[in-house]
Structure 1
Amino acid sequence: MQPCPCGSGKLILACCGPILAGKPAPTAEALMRSRYTAYATRKFAYIEETCAGPAAKAFDRREAERSGADTEWLGLTITGREAGLEGDEIGKVGFTFRVRQNGQEAAASEVSIFRKIDGRWFYWDREDRGKPGRVGRNDPCPCGSGKKFKACHGA
């Protein structure tokens, strides 16, 4: 019995597993947690399938697979949420994730925007681009890879 990488404290089969297998995420937070789990378990097709709008345009699956091969996902902490419940059409989830890449540990935080389209939640975009204390798309990735965040863990 494997614990879910998203940090919910549940087993993967009772948490993100069914969502990764095709069950619609009931909330924006559930989708965000399942996307973290997909990165941690290298299910990049799922990451791509759950992007829409600006996020879909920015996602580079080949780059995500390349950088993901050397990444160990160490943990996820939810820092806040706004709307994004079953009856909502839009939601925001704040979180911090920790990774190890090339022997170095790093953390990054963001507030993600999610939209429900035809009854399914999708990752739409990030909030607070360019504000101090936030990692911008063109900033160096905090994992220490030397790549821009958008080409590494921001993909």
Structure 2
Amino acid sequence: MTRTTDVSCPCGSDLMLTICCGRYHQGEIAPTPEALMRSRYSAFALGLSDYLLATWHPSTRPAELGPDPETKWKRLVIVSAEPALAQSGQVHFRAFFYERGHGRKRWHVLEEVSRFVHEQQRWWYVDGSPTLTRLKPGRNDSCLCGSGDKLKLCCGE
């Protein structure tokens, strides 16, 4: 279990986890599709599979969602978030991550337009149309985590 104090929220909001996505992980209801999307990204980054399943609509929820210790989620970019209508919403995002394999890191970006529905007085993730792209950053390129540092000085090998 990951501590939820004194750490920045993985969703990129520049807030502490406890006052950002951590409150949703602890049971507060996310007020918008974007807030739910950010909290779900943070849950992926923190390995909170129970939260991911609990916020997935029952009609599309998988039976289980195991942890993936080889994947490290590093940055979330919200491309657009449609204003939530009474019963539905969409969020277009890009999530940057790397996987460890064969002694090195392989960077990817997952891009998705996620669909959400509002039922039972809360928002639920329904599904999305994901695309996965492998990235090949150079050591002197800016780090994909968004720090502004060169990759070799930040998340690089």
The residue aligned with 1:45 is 50
The reply on whether 1:7 has 2:17 as its aligned counterpart is no
Give me the TM-score of the superposition, normalised by structure 2: 0.74
Q: What are the ranges of 5 or more consecutive residues in structure 1 without an aligned counterpart?
A: 136-140, 145-155
Note the aligned Cα RMSD (angstroms): 1.9
The reply on whether 1:72 has 2:75 as its aligned counterpart is no
Other structure's SS at 1:55 match? coil
The structure, 1 or 2, with the larger RCO (C-alpha pairs under 8 Å, 6+ apart) is 1
Other structure's SS at 2:41 match? helix
- Out of 16, 19, 29, which is 2:21 matched to? 16
Larger radius of gyration: 2
TM-superposed deviation, 1:60: 5.1
Deviations 1:96-146 (A, max 9, x none): 0001102111101110000111111100111xx4xxxx62xxxxx5469xx
TM-superposed deviation, 1:91: 0.4
State the 4+ residue runs in structure 1 displaced beyond 2 angstroms.
59-62, 141-144
Take 1:60 and 1:69, find their aligned partners in 2: how far apart are those partners? 19
Structure with a larger share of its residues in helix: 1
The residue aligned with 2:91 is 93
Give me the TM-score of the superposition, normalised by structure 1: 0.74
TM-superposed deviation, 1:70: 1.0
Take 2:84 and 2:37, find their aligned partners in 1: how far apart are those partners? 11
Q: What are the ranges of 5 or more consecutive residues in structure 2 without an aligned counterpart?
A: 1-5, 136-157
